[in-house]
């Protein structure tokens, strides 16, 4: 199978304008994401709506395409870029442009999901650890996922799922493995085309989780498991923490 990574990158951001061009360890954030991905996938391309990001990617030798500024989601931007790039790729991997430390093993895990011919879409999870604490488990900004016996997603929720009946809440993390969703997706090429035309679903509106639209419409979402914590950059404070982290890696 042939895999292409598409990295949506917008300049506008409420909490951190210009984030893809912020310097991290002497390189723009978007360059660090690109370099992490390019060695694992058959191809990689940045999808942007901003000339400054376009020029920055070209400057470091990366592949980049201009896309519409009017997309509602990264998935829509990803599909437009895929159509522009062309090629005979089987799977499109949508990698967030603010994940400069995305690990090779995580990318390989999402690729392995497509060994199962039933998988239409794939994503990643990380088990909650007991030391994460109950507050982390109950955080509604950290969606939870329930898997079936074949590591396909049954449901995503901002609530804690499953509910452990008869177990004291403070004992939940040591009594069951709960999975935290990591927001990276991969799509078979045909599935990507189809999901971008689906209307919002009831469950999606209820939980404000796009992936529920796909489940509600019958798509099978394979799930790779990673024990690596992702370090996304949403704010200038996150960038400062990432700068300190990168010094420990000597990258």
Mean pLDDT on 147-152: 97
The kind and range of the H/E element at 3 are: strand 3-9
pLDDT value at residue 246: 85
Residue 215 DSSP SS3? helix
pTM: 0.92
Q: How confident is the model at residue 71 (pLDDT cuts 50, 70, 90)?
A: confident
Q: Return the DSSP state at 119.
A: -
Neighbour-count burial of 245, counting CB atoms closer than 10 A to its CB (0-12 exposed, 13-18 middle, 19+ buried): middle
Q: How confident is the model at residue 249 (pLDDT cuts 50, 70, 90)?
A: confident
Q: Please give the share of the chain, as a percent, with pLDDT higher than 90.
A: 84
pLDDT value at residue 250: 56
Per the listing, tokens 């058959």 go with 42
Beta-strand relationship, 153-157 and 179-188: unpaired
pLDDT higher than threshold 80 for residue 134: yes
Task: Locate 132 and state its tokens.
Answer: 């994460």
By C-alpha distance, which of 83, 68, 112, 100 is closest to 249?
A: 100
Task: Locate 74 and state its tokens.
Answer: 């990264």
pLDDT higher than threshold 60 for residue 89: yes
Q: How confident is the model at residue 247 (pLDDT cuts 50, 70, 90)?
A: confident
pLDDT higher than threshold 70 for residue 144: yes
pLDDT value at residue 229: 80
How many Cα neighbours within 13 Å face the side chain of 146? 13
Q: How far apart are CA 157 and CA 146, in angstroms?
A: 9
Q: Which residues pair with 186 in a beta bridge?
A: 93, 122
The kind and range of the H/E element at 123 are: strand 121-127
Q: Are the C-beta atoms of 46 and 84 separated by less than 8 Å?
A: no
pLDDT higher than threshold 90 for residue 34: yes
Q: How far apart are CA 56 and CA 18, in angstroms?
A: 12
If one compares 127 and 250, the residue with the highest pLDDT of the two is: 127
Q: How far apart are CA 66 and CA 152, in angstroms?
A: 34
Task: Report how far apart, in Å, the C-alpha atoms of 147 and of each of 5, 72, 91, 151 are.
Answer: 25, 28, 22, 5
Q: How far apart are CA 117 and CA 114, in angstroms?
A: 6
Q: Are the C-beta atoms of 30 and 21 separated by less than 8 Å?
A: yes
pLDDT higher than threshold 70 for residue 251: no
Q: Are the C-beta atoms of 124 and 182 separated by less than 8 Å?
A: yes
């Amino acid at each position: 199978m042939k895999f292409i990574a598409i990295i949506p990158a917008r300049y506008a951001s409420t909490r951190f304008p210009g984030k893809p061009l912020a310097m991290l360890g002497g390189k723009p954030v978007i360059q660090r994401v690109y370099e992490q991905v390019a060695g694992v996938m058959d191809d990689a391309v940045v999808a942007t709506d901003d000339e400054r990001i376009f020029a920055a990617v070209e400057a470091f030798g990366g592949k980049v395409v201009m896309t519409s500024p009017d997309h509602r989601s990264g998935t829509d931007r990803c599909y437009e870029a895929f159509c522009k790039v062309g090629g005979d790729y089987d799977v499109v991997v949508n990698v967030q442009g603010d994940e400069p430390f995305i690990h090779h093993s995580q990318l390989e895990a999402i690729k392995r999901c497509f060994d199962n011919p039933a998988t239409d879409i794939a994503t990643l999870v990380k088990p909650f650890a007991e030391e994460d604490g109950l507050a982390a488990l109950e955080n509604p900004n950290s969606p939870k996922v329930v898997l079936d016996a074949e590591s396909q997603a049954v449901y995503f929720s901002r609530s804690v799922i499953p509910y452990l009946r008869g177990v004291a809440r403070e004992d939940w993390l040591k009594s069951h493995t709960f999975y935290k969703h990591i927001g990276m997706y991969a799509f078979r090429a045909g599935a990507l085309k189809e999901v971008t035309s689906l209307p919002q679903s009831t469950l999606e509106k209820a939980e404000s989780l796009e992936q529920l639209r796909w489940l509600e419409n019958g798509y099978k979402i394979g799930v790779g498991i990673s024990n690596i914590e992702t370090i996304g950059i949403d704010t200038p404070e996150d960038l400062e923490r990432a700068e300190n982290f990168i010094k420990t890696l000597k990258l």
